[in-house]
Amino acid sequence: MAKLIDGKKISAALLEKVKADVNELKSAGTEPCLAVILVGDDPASQVYVRNKKRTCEQVGIKSIEHLLPKDTSESELLSLIWSLNNDKSVHGILCQLPLPSHINEKTVLCAIDPDKDVDAFHPKNVGHIVIGDAELLPCTPAGVMEMLRYEGISVEGKNCVVVGRSNIVGKPMALMLLAANGSVTVCHSRTPDLSYHTKQADILVCAVGKKDLITADMVKDGAVVIDVSINRNEDGKLCGDVVFDEVSRKASYITPVPGGVGPMTIALLMQNTLTAARLNVIHSENDAESGDKVD
């Protein structure tokens, strides 16, 4: 039977460290601040925003909410983002996705200052992930890497298979596993014979959003199985991409849904906000030094 990777326990430990570091930064005169933008009244997005606000309070990060009506124009949203970019008291900006169909998501994400981009979706931050020197990492795949570290699971030399190629999880997940010296295969909807690839995986990460996609016969004995997705079954209960009851009898480690990767995502958002605040302090000090040298 697989060992359960408890995302609630691991995220709680990480949040305690973030809280201590936030207090240290506050004592030095900087209060980390996260601005969250929500456009429209999507119920799931509202839940996520409430959870983020509650976690900010838990670790001592100042949280500012901008709740905008669904008919907000793209220009109005961009104006708000530019204002937040120029607000030195704001260190992190998060625009909750999805956005209403009349707003171009790419345009909005590119408008956020890369140094305040706590989702790490800006092309500049994606480029840093590719070359391996990123300060800010996408929260969900970074959460997966934190879980592996916590459990003492080495990626180096392992066959790693990522099922899913989204910009939010699949692609950055593959890059992070590669940076940790894993041998990485990325599978997707056009991959023929998916099970051939998944059965080669020492570490299998599933991020498709399709219930019961991964069955026991598709998993190697002793594999580490990370289920990122959140779906609902016929009874309305939360589940992932993996048939948990079957696969847990074959894997060595497995994440549950719920209670696995989900809590890690918000914990890493807090970590990113703290990192962004620290970067702001460094940049301010560098700017001050540069100013002192001007004749």
Where in the sequence numbering do the catalytic residues fall? Answer: 52, 96, 119
Pairing of strands 231-232, 238-239: antiparallel
Q: Is the previous residue joined to 123 through a cis bond, with omega within 30 degrees of 0?
A: no
Element (H, E) at 12: helix 7-27
What contacts 289, CB < 8 A, 6 or more positions away? none
Contact indicator for 241, 209 with CB cutoff of 8 Å: yes
Taking the CA of residue 133 as centre, how many other CA atoms within 13 Å lie in the half-sphere pointing to its CB? 2
What contacts 62, CB < 8 A, 6 or more positions away? 31, 32, 33, 34, 56
- Residue 217 sits at φ, ψ, to 5 deg, of -70, -5
What sign results for the dihedral spanned by CA atoms 166, 170, 176, 181?
negative
Distance in angstroms (rounded) separating the CA atoms of residues 198 and 191: 11
